[in-house]
């Protein structure tokens, strides 16, 4: 990253650190951008209830990379199942807490991490795909990819290997590390194991079999590069700008 651009980024982060919520987006020049879509409402009991965010495109829009049937099942059944289980888990925790029944705190905490992770990752996954989106990174994202991975091609090579190499069900994630102020590629097992604290996911690759088996059978190495071909790198760049603004104040 050139020093001028880095200082611009730091300056932007300094302003953003003074505000919250939509203000961060405004300060980062991202007034129309949300890191996550708004998909929560307050229930009758006064607590937040998660909702399934709608797909930001028609289910057939990702063909031929992902078929309409696969996308529909993945979103309407699999993603929805995490949302439903997350709400149910939080209801169970609230009820147990009220009754001072802590016997299941271990299992409930595990269910919370698993289902919250599943909901977050699927939300990021569907919102980052757009066949007509930017095919390559620009701005800070492009500069940081060059600094931290050498080139866009080297990043894609490492990210693909990380995704293909996930043992069993999990994800490969390009993330912003706010402590080291760098981009990193990590793997998760399931939805929640292995991910480092504080790391903000920018691009996520679902390699659970339900994400590709219908179209690619067991050929995960064919699915991953094709999926990367429909990632909107402008969305990834906006996520980076927002996370930098939220995590850097000097
Ligand atoms: Mn999935």
d(CA 67, CA 60): 6
pLDDT digits (tens, 9 = 90+) for 140-193: 999 999 999 999 999 999 999 999 999 999 999 999 999 999 999 999 999 888
> In 176-185, which positions are buried (b, 16+ CB within 10 angstroms) versus exposed (e)?
bbeeeeebeb
Range of the domain at 78: 4-127
Ligand 1 centroid to residue 71 C-alpha, Å: 10
d(CA 126, CA 52): 11
Q: What percent of the chain has pLDDT over 90?
A: 78
Same domain membership, residue 146 and residue 105: no
- 120 bridge partner residues: none
- Boundary-marking domain end, from 79, 106, 127: 127
Ligand 1 centroid to residue 124 C-alpha, Å: 11
Ligand 1 centroid to residue 136 C-alpha, Å: 24
Output 247 or 67, whichever has higher pLDDT. 67
Ligand 1 centroid to residue 207 C-alpha, Å: 7
Ligand 1 centroid to residue 179 C-alpha, Å: 29
Output 200 or 29, whichever has higher pLDDT. 200
Ligand 1 centroid to residue 224 C-alpha, Å: 13
pLDDT at 13: 40
- 206 bridge partner residues: 171
Residue 235's CATH number? 3.55.40.20
User: 153, 12 in Cβ contact below 8 A?
Assistant: no
Cα pseudo-dihedral 193, 199, 203, 205, rounded to 10: -10
Q: What is the residue-averaged pLDDT of the chain?
A: 89
pLDDT digits (tens, 9 = 90+) for 29-65: 666 788 988 899 999 999 999 999 999 999 999 999 9
- For residue 15, pLDDT beyond 70: no
d(CA 44, CA 48): 9
pLDDT at 14: 40
Ligand 1 centroid to residue 248 C-alpha, Å: 31
Binning pLDDT at 50, 70 and 90, where does residue 2 land?
very low
**Cα–Cα nearest to 244, from 129, 117, 139, 135:** 139
Ligand 1 centroid to residue 13 C-alpha, Å: 33
d(CA 43, CA 45): 5
Same domain membership, residue 8 and residue 70: yes
pLDDT at 3: 41
User: 199, 176 in Cβ contact below 8 A?
Assistant: yes
- For residue 16, pLDDT beyond 50: no
Same domain membership, residue 150 and residue 115: no
- For residue 4, pLDDT beyond 60: no
- For residue 11, pLDDT beyond 80: no
pLDDT at 192: 85
Q: Helix or strand or coil: residue 93?
A: helix
Ligand 1 centroid to residue 21 C-alpha, Å: 28
Asked whether residue 132 is assigned to any structural domain, the reply reads: no
- For residue 19, pLDDT beyond 80: no
Asked whether residue 134 is assigned to any structural domain, the reply reads: no
- For residue 20, pLDDT beyond 50: no
Residue with tokens 């909901």: 119
Same domain membership, residue 109 and residue 192: no
Token couple for 51? 């909702």
Binning pLDDT at 50, 70 and 90, where does residue 200 land?
very high
- Burial classification of residue 239, based on how many CB atoms lie within 10 Å of its CB (0-12 exposed, 13-18 middle, 19 or more buried): buried
Q: Helix or strand or coil: residue 23?
A: helix
Helix residue ranges, H only, the chain: 3-16, 22-27, 68-73, 80-98, 105-127, 139-149, 152-164, 213-216, 220-228, 233-247
Averaged pLDDT for residues 205-233: 98
Same domain membership, residue 171 and residue 63: no
Other beta carbons within 10 Å of 205: 26
User: 111, 158 in Cβ contact below 8 A?
Assistant: no
Binning pLDDT at 50, 70 and 90, where does residue 250 land?
confident
Per-position DSSP letters for 190-247, written without gaps between them: TTTBSPPTTPEEEEEEE-SGGGTHHHHTT-HHHHHHHHHTTB-HHHHHHHHHHHHHHH
Averaged pLDDT for residues 97-104: 98
Ligand 1 centroid to residue 212 C-alpha, Å: 9
Binning pLDDT at 50, 70 and 90, where does residue 1 land?
very low
Handedness of CA 60, 124, 43, 192 (dihedral sign): positive
Ligand 1 centroid to residue 56 C-alpha, Å: 16
Residue 101's CATH number? 1.10.287.990
């Amino acid at each position: 990253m050139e020093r001028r651009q880095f200082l611009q980024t730091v300056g932007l982060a300094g302003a953003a650190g003074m505000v919250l919520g939509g203000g961060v987006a405004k300060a980062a020049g991202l007034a129309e951008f949300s890191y996550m879509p708004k998909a929560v409402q307050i229930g009758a009991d006064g607590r937040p209830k998660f909702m399934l965010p709608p797909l930001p495109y028609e289910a057939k829009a990702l063909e031929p990379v992902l078929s309409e049937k696969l996308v529909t099942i993945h979103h309407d059944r699999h993603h929805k199942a995490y949302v439903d289980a997350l709400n149910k888990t939080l209801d169970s925790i609230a009820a147990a807490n009220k009754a001072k029944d802590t016997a299941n705190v271990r299992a409930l905490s595990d269910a919370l991490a698993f289902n919250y992770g599943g909901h977050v990752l699927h939300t990021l996954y569907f919102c980052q795909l757009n066949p007509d989106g930017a095919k390559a990174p620009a701005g800070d994202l492009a500069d940081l990819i060059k600094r931290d991975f050498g080139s866009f091609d080297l990043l894609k090579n490492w990210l693909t290997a990380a995704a293909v190499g996930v043992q069993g069900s999990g994800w490969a994630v390009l993330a912003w590390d706010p402590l080291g102020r760098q981009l990193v590629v990590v793997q998760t097992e399931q939805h929640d194991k292995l991910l480092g604290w504080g790391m903000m996911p920018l691009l996520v690759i679902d390699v659970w079999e339900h994400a590709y088996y219908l179209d690619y059978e067991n050929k995960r190495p064919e699915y991953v590069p094709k999926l990367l071909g429909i990632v909107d790198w402008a969305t990834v760049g906006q996520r980076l700008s927002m996370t930098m603004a939220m995590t850097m104040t000097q």
